[in-house]
Chains A and B, each alone.
Chain A
Amino acid sequence: MTTLVLVSHPELADSSTQQFLKASLPKTDVVWEHIESQSTIDIEKEQHQLRAADRIILQFPLYWYTAPAGLKQWEDTVLTRNFVYGDRRYPLAGKELGLVVSTGMPATAFQRGGTEGFSLDALLTPFAALAQRARMVWLPTLAIPQFGYLEEPEKLRLVTDYQRYLTQTYPDSLANRQVWFAEQLAKQIAQLPADQRVTGRMLADQFDQRRTAISDLQGTLAMIKEQEDD
């Protein structure tokens, strides 16, 4: 699976959130692009990248309840009517669209009765409408509230949450999580120094056995439920 990450931020180098996310990017299967670094938007190249991706991520800080102007300009330039739906070919159909949104306010602010009064889902509706028009699959938004206040354990957690958001099969079920971790385990073990690799392999074996045990139990349960229906 190829994931295209389009980052919109007027001053990327000054953003600790964006620098952190960049350092957390999965090593493979991801194309990363910063919209505002391009002096002109190459429509053909952008459309080609969109066609080639299976999952498209728009990543930005929330500015006045939406994306920075750079992303809107990119949308208006690249997502032409003909490209998205005009010729009835829908080249983006079936691809997944997700948002990674950082906010200066806490998560609890974005709800009815919260200090902002609206949920992020409500504020970001135009993106969901775009996904619907393009016949794309909408992913639940990954919100990163108040990155600056995160402590180390929370930052460590964000690394893998972000990586999984970019590359794990949707939806985020235990089954899909286990598949993702099993794949990553193999890559991680290969990187370990020899003395740690033995432990790594042992852990991977145990992990697989537990995964199989869960799947067996689910099978047994399904069989019991089927008999109950008879």
Chain B
Amino acid sequence: MTEETKWLTEQLDRLAQQQPDFTNRAFWLALERVVAEQDRRTEQLGGEVDGRTWSPDRW
């Protein structure tokens, strides 16, 4: 997890805990999962770009 994602997760957690309404709390926690997914996807896409750019077949 990147530092940025860690920070975002903490903020989202705090915001979720501050919501008295159950459905609003659910929203901020669900957003946390999408943020984690963004993190994974960014890393995977970055890895694929690197992999394809440095492919020995292309040397």
CB atoms of A156 and B25 under 8 A apart: yes
Residues from chain B with a CB closer than 8 A to the CB of A203 are 8, 11-12, 15, 31
Indicate with 1 or 0, residue by residue over B25-40, a CB within 8 angstroms of chain A CB atoms: 1111111001101100
Query: What total of A-B pairs shows CB separation below 8 Å?
Result: 83
Residues B45 and A206 in contact, CB atoms below 8 Å apart: no
Chain A interfacial residues counted at CB < 8 A: 35
B residues in contact with A163, CB < 8 Å: 23
Residue contact B29 to A156, C-beta cutoff 8 Å: yes
- Minimum Cβ distance to chain A for residue B36 (Å): 11
Chain B hits for A207, CB < 8 A: 8, 31, 35, 38
Q: A206-B8, A213-B42 are in contact. Are A196 and B15 (CB under 8 A)?
A: yes
Contact of A228 among B15, B18, B52 (CB under 8 A): B52
Could you list 13 examples of A-B contacts with CB < 8 Å? A156-B22, A156-B25, A156-B26, A156-B29, A159-B26, A159-B30, A174-B41, A178-B34, A207-B31, A210-B42, A211-B38, A213-B42, A228-B52
Residues of A within 8 A of B (CB): 23-24, 156-157, 159-161, 163, 174, 177-178, 181, 184-185, 188, 191-192, 196, 199-200, 202-203, 206-207, 210-211, 213-214, 217-218, 220-221, 224-225, 228
